[in-house]
Amino acid sequence: MEPIGEEGKDRKKYIPSALILLFIVLAVIAYFAASNPALALVSATCGVLVWALVPSGLGHSPGPAGDADPKELKTYRKEHPGSTVADAVRATRKK
- Residue 6's pLDDT band, with cuts at 50, 70 and 90, is low
- Cα distance between residue 45 and residue 23, in whole Å: 8
- Give the confidence band of 42 by pLDDT, cuts at 50, 70, 90: very high
Q: Please state, in angstroms and rounded to a whole number, the distance separating the CA atoms of residues 35 and 33.
A: 6
DSSP per-residue string spanning 30-57: IIIIS--HHHHHHHHHHHHHHHHH-TT-
User: How much is the pLDDT for 57?
Assistant: 52
Nearest residue to 83 (alpha-carbon basis) of 72, 34, 42: 72
Quickly state the pLDDT bin for 41 (edges 50, 70, 90): very high
Q: What is the pTM of this model?
A: 0.51
Per the CB < 8 A criterion, the answer to whether 30 and 40 are in contact is: yes
Q: What is the mean pLDDT of residues 65-93?
A: 84
Band of the pLDDT at 24, cuts 50, 70, 90?
Answer: very high
